[in-house]
Chains A and B, each alone.
With several copies, the nearest count.
Chain A
């Protein structure tokens, strides 16, 4: 019985932390954001050297073959450093899609370059996970796609896209396929890239090697756990920053961290966020070890963590006073990262409704 991280996992956390501190300092994050770049090539390359791109890709395809808990630790570190890098789609959802639903030849063709970080994959599953807005939806027929997909993750400069259609299937499309129109979507979070894809009779490679419905379920579950972990990382960093700032900033002749109101704000943040860590670990672990529990646990993990995340983002900003509201300190990068995580792939309200449905609590 061990509910905790292995030595290897702690080392992974450690080396990731050091790496990101070095290659993704705030100034660099700001640079990427100011230039509206899709991601930081430096960070992506550095992560690639640690094997992040292939973390979930089986070893026989050149990956690390690690568990989703390892991926969650990476997501947490990325959130902690507001790292401007692809991850959720390209390193988590796409490998799962190919492993679960790709044919052997599709796996052989795409998994090795994904694992090596040579190609980036965007994923379009928003309509399945969050519901349909603005008449989005992609239909597949005779290997051709039509319609549009919104909120494509890791969209910017993606080489391939994996698209969920309205019928439960999964398809792979080249980033430069004829008939494909790409429209960047600007969100509050300038550290990650979102976009819209419009399809006019676009040629697609359907994933035919497994149960696409199951693969989609597992992609969405995994991505939700990643977004929760990203918020955990961003939130814990905001708490740390608030505690640090409160220990330095003086008002009325004393550091503000000695005022009980400020202390209690910090204590409340920590005591709300810390249990989320345990829930995320469990959810991530279940993806490999107890897959029948994962959908429920992923829904719980993301809804609780992103709700707490909103509270932390706001409260940590308040602890920083006016400085927290400026662009100068850059605290808002974490605030916005948490804001985006909350809404992507299922809002808390929607996830709780799904959780109720899974448990048979909703009358047909």
Chain B
């Protein structure tokens, strides 16, 4: 056990802090929108040049070209969070498509896409889920029929978060309808400007359209725009999903929310008493603090395993289930503590924190469902983590 980072890393931390104090004023004030602003693109470029984002991506693909160093990445994240600065462009192109291409793309594909994606010149969206294929992703039905050197794509995707502003899509389609379901899928990339694509915003229970549906009608895509070969789509998708799963259930996000609730309970008054003085709400707060702390230290444990190249086994498999549940419970506590004020929403007077607790309560339920429902997560934990038997095959009726 040694929770210190050591002198080499503390020196690196000083470097990062130096960058922040020199360049911090160049960071864009507002961020998080789907299409990066010019300001954000410039900031991204500066960060890449200093090795503060795209750090381990080879120079020839537009990255910084450093050796992977999990601790340095963590230090960068810590310092940027502390300073309240955006740590560069965050989108599915960078977090999911780039690593996939690095792992499985051809040299030409890497040359063509990685640098432009990193620099915010190309925005990607993800075409995986379909209305009929949620937990059972491999049952997807979007068809890609051969026509000379092209595929003709027909079908529908859902839960495509940045479809409206994206330039290109990485998309799973069924190219070999006669093969077993996992073996008939290919991973195609194509422009969202290709004729025959329609994007419709998908409103959720929060009242916002955080996602889209994407409809394909006779969309023509050259066969060359495949990643890793025909019928390899399921394999590629799983490589990509690894990167997504790591992002759900982040314990540091829960830590930030916990702090917000602690503040809220000190500030809010009911009948002239602070909410923190209500023993029931205080007990729930402390209980959730236990769980948040446990998951934060759990994160350190997983980090250590990564540093050592060890497989943390079941410890990794539980992160999404626990993390999303804790976030949802934190939002529930905030709502309950706020009483009738907790139900206000939209632009109501008396609203607290812009209605974000209600938004989170609903959106977190979406996250519990999305990216592998809680039921699927439990199947995975039982089967892969505990080695329990898989669901037996059902007899044909």
Contact = CB atoms under 8 A, between A and B. Distances in A.
| A and B assemble together | yes
Contact of B369 (A196, A279, A318): A318
Given A264-B375, A355-B286, A322 B129 contact: yes
A347 to B, nearest CB: 5
Nearest to B205: A332
Interface string B1-32: 11111100100000000000000000000000
Interface stretch (B55-63, B171-179, B183-191, B272-280): B272-280
Contact of A1 (B2, B136, B207, B285): B2
A322 B369 contact: yes
Contacts of B282: 356, 361-362
A1 B262 CA distance: 29
Which residue of B2, B158, B368, B386 has the most chain A CB atoms within 10 A of its CB atom? B386
A131 B268 CA distance: 13
B335 A343 contact: yes
B300 A343 contact: no
A152 B386 CA distance: 38
Given A2-B307, A6-B1, A133-B341, A259 B207 contact: no
B346 interface: yes
A165 to B, nearest CB: 16
Interface residues of A, number: 95
Contact of B297 (A133, A264, A278, A303): A278
A316 to B, nearest CB: 11
B234 interface: no
Interface stretch (A43-51, A92-100, A181-189): A181-189
Contacts of A255: 389
B264 to A, nearest CB: 13
Nearest to A326: B204
B345 A188 contact: yes
A274 interface: yes
Nearest to B367: A325
A155 B278 CA distance: 30
Given A254-B392, A326-B205, A263 B382 contact: yes
Contacts of B207: 327
B301 A243 contact: no
Contacts of B315: 274, 277-278
A343 B340 CA distance: 5
B387 A243 contact: yes
B127 to A, nearest CB: 15
A132 B375 contact: no
Interface in A261-309: 261-264, 266-268, 270-272, 274-279, 281-282, 285, 289-290, 297, 300-301, 303-304, 307
Given A344-B340, A361-B276, A1 B307 contact: yes
Contacts of A297: 293
A266 B281 contact: no
Contact of B346 (A186, A251, A279, A361): A186
A314 interface: yes
Interface in B311-360: 314-315, 317-318, 321-322, 332, 335-336, 338-350, 358
Interface in B196-242: 202-205, 207
B374 interface: yes
A253 B136 CA distance: 9
A257 interface: yes
Contacts of A201: none
A69 B1 CA distance: 9
A312 B55 CA distance: 43
A299 B72 CA distance: 32
B298 A274 contact: yes
Given A257-B389, A327-B207, A133 B373 contact: no
A328 B200 CA distance: 12
Contact of A2 (B1, B159, B287, B373): B1
A15 interface: no
B383 interface: yes
B344 A264 contact: no
Nearest to B70: A1
Nearest to A5: B1
Contact of A133 (B203, B269, B318): B269
B321 A271 contact: yes
B290 A300 contact: yes
Nearest to A151: B340
Contact of A132 (B272, B322, B347): B272
A274 to B, nearest CB: 6
B271 A3 contact: no
Contacts of B281: 349
B37 interface: no
13 contacts: A1-B2, A6-B1, A132-B270, A151-B340, A187-B343, A246-B388, A259-B375, A266-B386, A266-B388, A267-B377, A267-B378, A279-B290, A318-B373
Given A3-B303, A278-B300, 15 more contacts: A1-B5, A133-B340, A247-B389, A260-B391, A261-B378, A267-B382, A300-B289, A318-B375, A321-B373, A322-B129, A322-B158, A322-B159, A322-B369, A339-B335, A356-B286
Closest 7 CB pairs of A and B: A332-B205, A3-B300, A263-B382, A275-B294, A327-B203, A271-B318, A186-B348
Interface of B: 1-6, 9, 71, 129, 131-136, 139, 158-159, 202-205, 207, 262, 268-272, 274, 276-283, 285-287, 289-291, 293-295, 297-298, 300-301, 303-305, 307-308, 314-315, 317-318, 321-322, 332, 335-336, 338-350, 358, 362, 365-366, 368-370, 373-375, 377-379, 381-383, 385-392, 394
